[in-house]
Structure 1
C-alpha cells in the first residue's frame, strides 16, 4: 500500500501540472521547477546538532541566502567540503578526524536549504554561487564534493575559473554528470508530458541561460585545468558510474578510481586514504 501511495502522489502532481500547463504555462513551469529544487530532508537533526554547533564559523550572505560555514582549524592547506542533496556538513563527521590527523585547515559549508543554511531550495547555479562566496572568504587549496556537491564545484570552476586560481586539487565522490538525466527521471516519476517538459526547459533557459543538455559536468570538465580525483562505485544506485567515466574522459588532469560494493556515500577508510594520498601528492 505504501509503495502504491508513493507512486500515486507524484503521478497526481504530474497530472495537475500537465493539465494546468494549458491554462497557465509560465506559472506551472515555475511550480514544476520549484518542486524539482525542493529537498525533503537535509536540515540538521537532533543527533547532528552537537557536532556542528562546536564547529560553527562565519555566516556568509549570497543575495538572500545565509550560508553557514564550519571550521576545524589546522596549520596546513585549507580544504573545503561540499555535501550532496538532502544532506549537510554532518556527513563529513567520520572524515574530518582523518583530515585533522594531517593538520589540514578544514572548512565545510551547508548548501542552500540544507543544514543550518537558510532557504528551502537547492539548485546547482545557486549552490555554485554560494560556494564561490565561501571560496572568496577562505581561499581553499583543495575542494572535496560528494554527489551534487561535486557537480556544483565542477560548474563553479567552469563559471568562475578566473576567480579560483588558488584551488589546486578537486575531489568528487559519487557525483552525477548530466542535468538531462535528472530531468528525464523527474519526467518519469511525475509522468510529465513532452509539452510540460518543454515549458520547464524554457523556464531554465530564461532563468539560467542554458538548456538541460548544456548543464553537463563532462562539458564543464573540458575547461578545468585543476588536478582532479574522481571516486565512484561501479554499483552506485544513486549516481551511475558512467557519470564519472564521462567526466574523466573530458578532464585532462583527472584520475578515476573505481570501487565496487562501497555504495554511494563512500565513507570507507580506503576512500579516505585515496583522497589523502591524492591531496598530499
Structure 2
C-alpha cells in the first residue's frame, strides 16, 4: 500500500521540484526535465532472456559514444531488421524471430541505447533513428518491422534518410504525435503552460523540430516504400487514431485494425499478418 502511494505521488513531487528549479534556473530545469523524459526505468536483458539471445551471432557496433548490441540469426533468404519499443529489448521478438528464421529469412535485431545489452542512459526518437541508420548501413535489410517508439524511429529514419535498400516496412502500434505525448508528460508532472512552451523551444534547439512538427503523419507523407500498419483499436498507450492519420498520409500503406490485442500485439495472428505481407 505504501509503495503504491509513493508511486502515485512521485511524479507530482518530481514535477514540483522541476517547476521550482525552473523559477531559479530555467535551462537547468529544462535539461533535467528532458533527460527524465528520455530515461527508461526498465528494458535491460533479464536472466531468463539471455539464453535465446546467446544463440544469435552477436556484434557490438558504435554510434558516437554508444555501444549497440546487435543479434543476427542467419538464413538463406532476405534480411529483416526488427526494432523494439520503449522499455523493451530484442528478446521481445523471440517468437517472430523463430518463425521468420524457420522459413529462411535472415533476422537482425538490436538493443536501443539504454536498453537490453546496449550502453547509454537515455533514449529519444532522433537518437534511435540515428542508431537505426547505422544498423541499416551495416546489415542492409530488405524489410523492417518495428514496434511503438521503435516504429516512430523507423518512420522518422525513412523520412530523413530515404533508404533505398529497404523494400517494405511494417509498423506496429506507433504513437503518432510527439505533441500529444508531451502534453501527457505535462499533465503527469503538472508543469505549467510556460514550462511546456519552454521545453518545446528546448527540443527545437536540440533537434530542429517543435513538438508539433515532430509528427509521424507528416513524416509519412515523404515515405515512398510500401508499408503495413497494424494497430489495435483499443490500444491504451498509443491511440489508434494516430495510425489512421499515418495511413491517410502514407500513399503506399495498408492498415490492419485489430481488437483486444493490446499495445504489445503479442498474438500469432499478428505474426501471420507480418509474414503474409513480407511474402506478398
TM tier relative to shorter chain = over 0.9
1:200 is displaced (CA, Å) by: 1.0
Q: Is there any run of 5+ residues in structure 1 with no aligned partner, and where? A: none
State how far apart, in whole Å, the 1-side matches of 2:187 and 2:8 are.
Answer: 11
Deviation larger for 243-252 or 1-10: 1-10
State the partner residue of 1:280: 279
State the partner residue of 1:63: 64
The answer as to 2:169 corresponding to 1:194 is no
Q: Is there any run of 5+ residues in structure 2 with no aligned partner, and where? A: none
State how far apart, in whole Å, the 1-side matches of 2:128 and 2:262 are.
Answer: 24
Partner of 2:12, secondary structure, is helix
The answer as to 2:11 corresponding to 1:10 is yes
| Aligned residue runs from structure 1 range 1-281, under 5 A | 1=1, 2-161=3-162, 164-281=163-280
State how far apart, in whole Å, the 2-side matches of 1:74 and 1:189 are.
Answer: 45
State how far apart, in whole Å, the 2-side matches of 1:182 and 1:233 are.
Answer: 18
Partner of 2:108, secondary structure, is strand
Counterpart contact for 2:178–2:211, Cα < 8 Å: yes
TM-score by length of 2: 0.98
Partner of 1:8, secondary structure, is helix
> C-alpha offsets along residues 210-247 of structure 1, whole Å, 9 cap, x if unaligned?
10011111000000001000000101111111111110
State how far apart, in whole Å, the 1-side matches of 2:179 and 2:207 are.
Answer: 15
State how far apart, in whole Å, the 2-side matches of 1:117 and 1:231 are.
Answer: 27
1:56 is displaced (CA, Å) by: 4.2
Counterpart contact for 1:68–1:116, Cα < 8 Å: yes
Counterpart contact for 1:127–1:152, Cα < 8 Å: yes
1:7 is displaced (CA, Å) by: 2.4
Counterpart contact for 2:21–2:28, Cα < 8 Å: no
Deviation larger for 151-160 or 95-104: 95-104
State how far apart, in whole Å, the 2-side matches of 1:126 and 1:109 are.
Answer: 14
TM-score by length of 1: 0.97
Please give the root-mean-square deviation of Cα atoms over the aligned residues, in Å.
0.9
1:75 is displaced (CA, Å) by: 1.0
1:68 is displaced (CA, Å) by: 0.7
Runs of 4 or more, structure 1, over 6 Å off, are none
